[in-house]
Amino acid sequence: MSVLRPMTSSLEARREGCYVAALELRVEKLEKRLAFARSRKASVNLHDVDEATTTGPADRKDSLANIRAAIHRKAARKREDSDVNALVSDFGFLSVNATTRDFEPSVSGMTFARLVLAAATNDEVPDPTEDSFPTRAEAFATVQYYMANIYSLFPSFSETHLLTVLDDVYQQDERVKDRLKDADFWLLYMVLAIGYAAQSREQNDDYSRRGLGFVARALPFADKALMPGYPSQIQSLILFTQYSMLDPGHFDSWYLIGFASRAVVDLGFHQDPPQLQVPDKAALDLRRRMFYCVYALDRMVSMVRARSFSFTDDSINVEYPSNSGLTSGPITGPQSADSALVLFQLRRLQSEWYQTLFQGDAAPLSDAASFIWQMCLEMREWHESLPDNLPSGIREFFELELRYSYIHCLAPSDRQPHLTDYTRKLIFEHAIAYMNTIHSVVHGSVNTAFYSSLDALKVFFVATQFFTVFNEKRELLISEQRIIPPITRPGTAPPPPLPHRPAGGEDSLDRSMRCLQQVHAQHPSYPPPHHQALMGSQQVPMQGMMQQQLHGQPMMQYRWVGDGGGQMMPGPPGQGPPM
């Protein structure tokens, strides 16, 4: 063995030397081939130049360089389309960090804005016309409408900053416009788009066309406005979500509020910062306002479309913004602070019972009645504490929200599958009152609050609950027989009282017939320009239920499920939306 070891070592050394020599030889051959290829390329280029100078310019269609460039451009487009399709197809498995800078155009051809648009766009936005830009006076009036009716509920940015941007855009000095950021243009154009679209009363009227035109003007600034890692991204997504609620034919509000919610969480806005890290009170209030605007929109979109919330209440720790932080400007007036804060408080109450009844365990609650009575009591106390200085349109909006919340909370679900006669009477009375109010809103001259396509789904949901209880206990509900409230345990909240009815008014039968007629009148037209994309699939069951009720026939049973915009499917009405 001692003799074989040195022989083996010398053999390995010779093999290693041969391997290195072979590699060196291979490298030398490759270098020669590379040098030959370079010299050949140079001679070909020189020949092409000589030929061009002697024979004149070649036809562009036959130019090899142009053909190559066209091939490269086509390949680049195919790669970009493939990248977008791959991202969208895997979107359900993709975790997007809203604080990353990897989506910047300088790093990658794919931007975060392109991802958002690919996921949320339902139909392409046409290019704006050149003469569609309004005068400064008209633009200011539209901004005033937005600030008074929508910003007063969702104050996610500085009113002063918006007015400054508006002045700068209409300046003759181009240097003033050059100082504006992409997020500033997005802010102004989206506010104008929402302001116009919210005033629309008919399909494709001038207001809706102008609103869509300003969205087209805003989209070229999306890459910077929606860039992750900045508070302006949250503000831009809030505005985008608001517009999508007015125009579901072009954009899906569910995806957009999901992006906004993810941005809020990734930037840490769902938690109040330590006091030592707060730069000033105004900055903290703006941060809280942005969070609660996203929170309020997320709760509204999720409840109406029978979806899960983007984040739970257990994961947040943010105090309400102070009234001083909700500074009233020259447009919004002193009521703006109260309106937004009141809405935020209502969304917290709605979130509590919705998570318990529709997002929790499917097993029935041990004492569902006590929980529901307590939630109704807290919502009634919220309504009784509304500020006196609220505008009439905003107050009407809150009363509609309260009645919708009562009906939704009282409706049967997996956790509370059985209804008492008193609960049916509550749903019956609140549904009639809701339809009366929304009927006046629909036929009003102008919207005095933020009504959108989601309100069409609310009308459908309320009508469905009305049909269900009316079908189950028709004789009892149309009679004037007094229904005794159920007995509650000591120390628990009492059942809510029935809505007040004016003395000497219509009887229950007449009110029921009028409610059915109002549903029939409102369903095809409310809200005129916005509801078709979400309500189209609901028209057959809605019309069928109305015909059955108007002719006194037993109604086919339906259940409300969260599929797309929320849909009515055949099935027992006691079954709640699956989560």
Shared domain check, 383 and 244: no
Q: What is the DSSP letter of 149?
A: I
236: enclosing H helix or E strand: helix 231-246
Boundary-marking domain end, from 330, 353, 375: 330
pLDDT digits (tens, 9 = 90+) for 280-330: 889 999 999 999 999 999 999 999 999 999 999 999 999 999 875 454 566
Shared domain check, 373 and 461: yes
* 166: in domain: yes
570 DSSP β-pair partners? 558
Please, are residues 297 and 238 in contact by the beta-carbon 8 Å criterion? yes
* 81: in domain: no
Shared domain check, 459 and 521: yes
Shared domain check, 301 and 191: yes
560/367: higher pLDDT? 367
Shared domain check, 307 and 174: yes
Q: Is the backbone peptide bond immediately before 527 cis, with ω within 30 degrees of 0?
A: yes
pTM for this model (two decimals): 0.76
Shared domain check, 552 and 406: yes
* 548: in domain: yes
* Average pLDDT score over the chain: 81
Number of domains the chain is built from: 2
* 390: in domain: yes
Show the domain range for 430: 361-579
Shared domain check, 391 and 247: no
pLDDT digits (tens, 9 = 90+) for 504-537: 678 888 898 889 888 877 654 444 444 443 444 4
Reported confidence tier of residue 73, pLDDT bands at 50, 70, 90: confident
Shared domain check, 271 and 411: no
* 226: in domain: yes
* 243: in domain: yes
Q: Report whether pLDDT(558) > 60.
A: no
Shared domain check, 234 and 368: no
* 99: in domain: no
Residue 128's pLDDT is 86
When pLDDT is averaged across residues 426-445 and rounded to a whole number, the result is: 93
Q: Report whether pLDDT(345) > 80.
A: yes
Q: Report whether pLDDT(98) > 90.
A: no
Measure the CA–CA gap between 2 and 535, rounded to whole angstroms. 91
Reported confidence tier of residue 81, pLDDT bands at 50, 70, 90: low
* 5: in domain: no
Shared domain check, 368 and 224: no
Shared domain check, 444 and 314: no
Measure the CA–CA gap between 575 and 555, rounded to whole angstroms. 16
Ramachandran angles phi, psi of 392, nearest 5°: -60, -40
Say which residues have a Cβ less than 8 Å from residue 397's Cβ, sequence separation at least 6: 448, 449, 450, 451
